[in-house]
Amino acid sequence: MPLRHLFNWIFYGHIWIAVAATGLSWMTLRLAYGPPYWASETPVLTFIFLATLGVYTLHRYLSFQRSGVRPTTRRYELVRDHPTASLIIGGGSMIAAGAIGMTFIESIWSSLLWALPITVFYLTPPIKGWRRLRDLPYVKALWVAWAWTIMTWDVPVEVMRDAIQTSYVENGSGGLNLPITPASPQLPFPTEMPLRFLFTLSIALLFDFRDVVLDKSQSVKTAANQYPVLAKSIVSVAMTICIITVFRADGYSTATAWACTMAYGTTILVCWATNDQRSENWYATVVNGMLVLLPVLVGLAYYYDWYVVGSSPF
């Protein structure tokens, strides 16, 4: 496979973004439950990977098919050259995710009530003649951040809460004198929901710079195309809040706090290096890469705390 094709499949075929969602979900579980002693996390992490891959692939396919003039930008190259493969990958991933999700549907149905409408109506108006969610002024990034927070924070915790509770009841505590059951998320879990929202909101705001021309052509107002300096300032303030929080909130080890700080600080640097003149590769690799960088650095901190220092990572 030529290098360009491999690059396209990874970064424009949405494998990279699916890895990011899976990594953030893994990070959530480490912060919530510590080491995975009690139940397998593979089903829910596989579900999130496949669901993310399927949703993003089908969104790209639908966007391409509905466009009046066929887009020629880099991100549409795969779906333009391989429409059938894109449809099969997107549809197949969604079917597989649905099959896995049905095994723990009782744990996630309330989360899906929030996530599914955002996913469906982001590109499709709920009623003919109405606006799509992405077309509403200044809130496009909010929908993306809310969906990502639900899928990478709420869904994995709800699934594992029930799985761990079941394992705990069936197998007992193994002689451990525990003050609470392992199914109860520990600190700093409650802190992570607002931080996850601010982080994914920041990445979504940066992606609005990529879409300045497209959004203006569709009369969609965003902070990036109306108030670009303000948009970057919001990202910088949001990341600064995240940095301060991980050092002041209970539950973060020193290594974990510094790992988060490195990721959030790098996001600020990327923010001010981002503009509507950047190539699509910048957004596909670097901006999306921030979503990968955070769980990778937290994973290294986890390894350091657990295997090098020999203390609890969180």
List, for residues 148-179, the tens digit of each pLDDT value. 999 999 999 999 999 988 877 776 554 444 44
Q: Quote the pLDDT of residue 311.
A: 66
Of 139, 190, 146, 182, the closest CA to residue 31 belongs to 190
Q: What tokens does 176 get? A: 């451990």
Q: What is the CA radius of gyration of the chain?
A: 20
Residues 226-232: contacts with CB within 8 Å, 24+ apart? Answer: 226/138, 228/275, 228/276, 231/205, 232/271, 232/272, 232/274
Q: For the whole prediction, is pTM greater than 0.75?
A: yes
Query: What is d(CA 140, CA 121) in angstroms, rounded to the nearest whole number?
Result: 12
Q: Quote the pLDDT of residue 178.
A: 46
φ/ψ of residue 167, rounded to 5: -65, -40
* Res 28 pLDDT > 50: yes
**How far are the Cα atoms of 125, 139, 278 from residue 236, in angstroms, in the given order?**
32, 18, 19
Query: What is d(CA 159, CA 157) in angstroms, rounded to the nearest whole number?
Result: 5
Q: What tokens does 14 get? A: 């949405």
Q: Quote the pLDDT of residue 166.
A: 85
DSSP code per residue over 278-291: S-HHIIIIIIHHHH
Least confident of 63-67, 150-154, 290-294: 63-67
What amino acid is encoded at 267 in this protein?
Answer: T
Least confident of 2-11, 199-208, 249-258, 271-280: 2-11
